[in-house]
């Protein structure tokens, strides 16, 4: 049984990680400012309000709970916003993580797992992105992730074992329906498509339909949030088993399969039983035509296999968006048609 500090545990992916830990018999301790996360999403383990940049508060919480591992998901997540407000992203995601890494070193943490992103690869130079692809961030968000990976590699020399998990596009929700994606504003394709189909949100805008892809829309690699959560537990085991020398390793976490934006809309429409209203807009600067992960390393080293495919991701998102809390912070409640936002 492992006690794990889950920084950012009140957010979308973090809440699924807390659930997975609890189900495995471990003890999650959610550490979150709640600036972007939700108190209703902290259902497994205790909540400690705090900032990863606050060394005093971290010492207090780490001394009280004495975790063996840290999973660090806390941060801002909008690439576009990071271009407009680079300082905010570099401070919250990069500089504050330096404080968390120092705290982990002070408290003898045995395994540190970090939420990185495929954004660190920048513009793809190979069809399936492998961990050996050059690190060439093209946004402050991606630069903040690359900074933390470098800091963790340096901290390995001081005894901190760590893994950077480079997520592709997290999607879906816990099939139980109690937690799911609830960002404000929501910018991710699947919840936007589902909301448009259900009449809870506006038509989806396709950001470019003239890419060199079979249907002209961008291709992305969607991975179910529960599969992602499971990979964190495997990474902790792997780090604790790897023993001996200190190390930092990066792993891609995707499905290894690409779907175009149009394919996601079609699949959402098929499963929802209604067409997804959409409009065509211009390309968004910095978007790559295709980002699909090579996940052989995570399969091989972590023994990890993603299980919930695109259809399952859409089904789970549909169930969640019907139930998710929209105006109250008290917990999930059914969305009635008269509360639709369009």
Ligand X SMILES: NC(=O)c1ccc[n+]([C@@H]2O[C@H](COP(=O)([O-])OP(=O)(O)OC[C@H]3O[C@@H](n4cnc5c(N)ncnc54)[C@H](O)[C@@H]3O)[C@@H](O)[C@H]2O)c1
Interacting residue ranges for ligand X, rule: CB under 6 A: 7-8, 10-14, 32-37, 51-53, 73-75, 77, 92, 96, 115, 117, 167, 169-170, 183
Check if 141 is active-site.
yes
- Give the Å distances, CA to CA, from 254 to 21, 70, 217, 257: 20, 22, 19, 8
Selection from 4, 70, 71, 9 nearest residue 39 by Cα: 9
Q: Tell me the C-alpha distance between 326 and 341, whole Å.
A: 10
Minimum separation from the CB atom of position 59 to ligand X (A): 15
Residue whose CB is nearest to ligand X in the complex, by number: 11
Minimum separation from the CB atom of position 255 to ligand X (A): 12
| Active-site annotation holder among 12, 31, 141, 259 | 141
Minimum separation from the CB atom of position 50 to ligand X (A): 6
Nearer to ligand X, 137 or 216 (CB): 137
Minimum separation from the CB atom of position 82 to ligand X (A): 10
CA 307 to chain centre: 17
The tokens for 282 are: 């211009």
Q: Could you give the count of Cα atoms lying within 13 Å of 196 in the half-sphere of its Cβ?
A: 23
CB 110 within 8 A of CB 69: yes
The tokens for 85 are: 């407000």
Nearer to ligand X, 252 or 335 (CB): 252
Nearer to ligand X, 146 or 170 (CB): 170
CB 295 within 8 A of CB 252: yes
Nearer to ligand X, 43 or 199 (CB): 43
Active site residues: 141
């Amino acid at each position: 049984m492992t006690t794990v500090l889950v920084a950012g545990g009140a957010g979308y992916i973090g809440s699924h990680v807390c659930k997975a830990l609890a189900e495995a018999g471990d003890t999650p301790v959610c550490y979150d400012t709640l600036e972007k996360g939700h108190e209703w999403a902290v259902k497994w383990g205790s909540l400690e309000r705090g900032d990863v940049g606050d060394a005093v508060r971290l010492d207090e919480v780490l001394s009280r709970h004495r975790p063996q591992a840290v999973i660090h998901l806390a941060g801002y997540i909008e690439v576009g916003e990071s271009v407009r407000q680079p300082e905010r992203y570099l401070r919250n995601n990069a500089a504050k993580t330096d404080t968390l890494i120092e705290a982990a070193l002070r408290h003898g943490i045995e395994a540190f797992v970090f939420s990185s992103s495929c954004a660190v690869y920048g513009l793809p130079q190979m069809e399936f992105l492998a961990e050996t692809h050059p690190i060439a961030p093209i946004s402050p968000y991606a630069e903040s992730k690359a900074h933390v990976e470098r800091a963790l590699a340096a901290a390995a020399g001081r005894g901190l074992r760590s893994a950077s998990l480079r997520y592709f596009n997290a999607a879906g929700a816990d099939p139980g329906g109690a937690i799911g994606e609830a960002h404000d504003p929501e910018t991710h394709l699947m919840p936007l498509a589902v909301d448009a189909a259900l009449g809870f949100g506006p038509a989806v805008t396709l950001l470019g339909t003239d890419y060199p892809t079979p249907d002209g829309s961008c291709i992305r690699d969607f991975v179910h949030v529960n599969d992602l959560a499971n990979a964190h537990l495997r990474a902790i085991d792997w780090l604790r088993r790897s023993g001996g020398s200190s190390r930092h390793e990066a792993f891609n976490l995707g499905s290894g399969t690409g779907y175009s934006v149009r394919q996601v809309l079609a699949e959402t429409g098929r499963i929802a039983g209604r067409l997804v209203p959409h409009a065509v807009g211009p390309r968004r600067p910095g978007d790559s035509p295709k980002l699909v992960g090579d996940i052989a390393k995570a399969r091989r080293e972590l023994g990890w296999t993603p299980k919930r495919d695109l259809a399952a991701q859409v089904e789970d998102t549909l169930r969640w968006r019907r139930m998710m809390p929209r105006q109250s912070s008290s917990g999930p409640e059914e969305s009635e048609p008269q509360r639709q936002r369009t």
